[in-house]
Amino acid sequence: MTVYCLLWLGFFQVSAPQADQLSQLIEELRAGNPALKAARARVDAARAEAEATGALPDPTASLAVFAQEVETRVGPQKQKLALEQQLPWQGKRALARSRAVQLADSRAVALEAVALQLTAELKQHYARHYLIGRTLTIHEEHLALLQSLEEVVAEKYKTSQANYGDLIRIQVEIDKQEDQVAAWRERGRPVIAAINSLIARDSSQPLPYPAGLPEIALPATDISPEHPGLKTLSMRADAERTAVKLAGLARYPDFKLGVEWINTGSAVMPGVIGSGDDPLILKVGVNLPVNRRVYKARKTAAAYRATAYQQQRRHEKVALEASLVEARFQFDDAQRKIALYRDRILPKAEEALNVSLASFQAGKADYLDLIDAEKALLEFQLALDEARADRFASAARIEALQGNDGGNP
């Protein structure tokens, strides 16, 4: 029975927190996750586009060759070279650039939202990974206990102190536990594959089971005013309000400045003043903004887009608040279960197992009583670990809903 006692003590070994392991996984997530890389690339593209927005249009150059030279007093005109530069109405370029910068900044904040959501997803998978590892360990320890107990019953059977039915019953229990161990090993594969996919590893790469979960601070109940998802919608609404202002300037004309040079040959008549002189012409022009309905439609469309983003933000905030209430309930429920199993039920189950073990060793109790007591302890230990995993996963969800990482790994 010494082997049995030593194995049973494994149930109550304290696991060291695994903050370092989780922190490393989060670092790999933020460095290598393809979705985050794609979001960063979109931010870089938007910033590069903002740099180009609001620049002056390229100047235009044109060359005209007279198919038939125009004869003038000072000589025949042969070619004409023109350069022109368009100058938008004051404020158009600045507003266009401002809107592009606002959209780029909103993409940067949206990147934070993606990182926040993926981190929460990783933590939830990590909690599940921990639970599977703990469940597998407990079932393996229970299997070892049953196997050691089988040896005792087999010895008693040889000396006619136990019947064949007793031996069969415990062997059935062993078979059931072996099936549980095999099943939980397989259950771990999809979770490991999910974690590996988030950190851009090969899905088949092994991942050690964590011995414990990091300590977590009690999450607050309010949504952060800097929640990246809500902030992104606010920034896009602001960008559309800028677009309204930009569309309002469309009714003002753009200017065009230009210069023309005409290549002129020498006059036919000698002695003509200015013979062969090339004329230089300065030009000023404006476009005629006559499509007022079009400009008004663009302004109205931008205003509607701003309203849509504003209303979407309100909807998202209400939905986040409702989800936060549910997540907080799940957190509190898990917290309650942890206190119940850790402080009340498990100590009693441990005491009951000690009594059964002492009675069995003294020959005053049947081995079935010992198995029942040990199975009850196993069930409560699994319930405690499940509550711990649920609390950690709920905390991760609360952090994402609030819009911050809660200061946890």
Mean pLDDT of the region 313-333: 95
The three-state secondary structure class of 71 is strand
Q: Is the pLDDT of residue 4 over 80?
A: no
Higher-confidence residue of 168 and 319: namely 319
Domain of residue 149, residue span: 2-32+88-252+289-402
Would you say residue 282 lies in a domain?
no
pLDDT tens track for 345-404: 999 998 988 888 788 777 776 777 777 888 888 899 999 999 999 999 999 999 999 987
Would you say residue 169 lies in a domain?
yes
Would you say residue 244 lies in a domain?
yes
pLDDT at 19: 60
- Which residue matches tokens 């059935």? 172
- Which residue matches tokens 């794609």? 38
pLDDT at 71: 79
In this structure, what CATH number is given to the domain that contains residue 124?
1.20.1600.10
Query: Could you tell me if 207 and 25 are in contact, meaning their C-beta atoms sit under 8 angstroms apart?
Result: no
Quick one: pLDDT band at residue 405, thresholds 50, 70, 90? low
pLDDT at 203: 83
Joined tokens for residue 209: 């089971």
DSSP state of 203: T
Would you say residue 136 lies in a domain?
yes
pLDDT at 380: 93
What phi and psi values does residue 322 have, to the nearest 5 degrees?
A: -65, -45
Would you say residue 305 lies in a domain?
yes
pLDDT tens track for 214-264: 887 766 678 888 999 999 999 999 999 999 999 999 999 999 999 999 988
The three-state secondary structure class of 22 is helix
CA angle centred on 109, ends 232 and 229, rounded to 5° = 45
Query: How many domains does the chain fold into?
Result: 1
Mean pLDDT of the region 274-285: 86
- CB under 8 Å to 253, separation ≥6 — which residues? 89, 286, 287, 288, 289
Mean pLDDT of the region 277-298: 91
pLDDT at 11: 39
Quick one: pLDDT band at residue 158, thresholds 50, 70, 90? confident
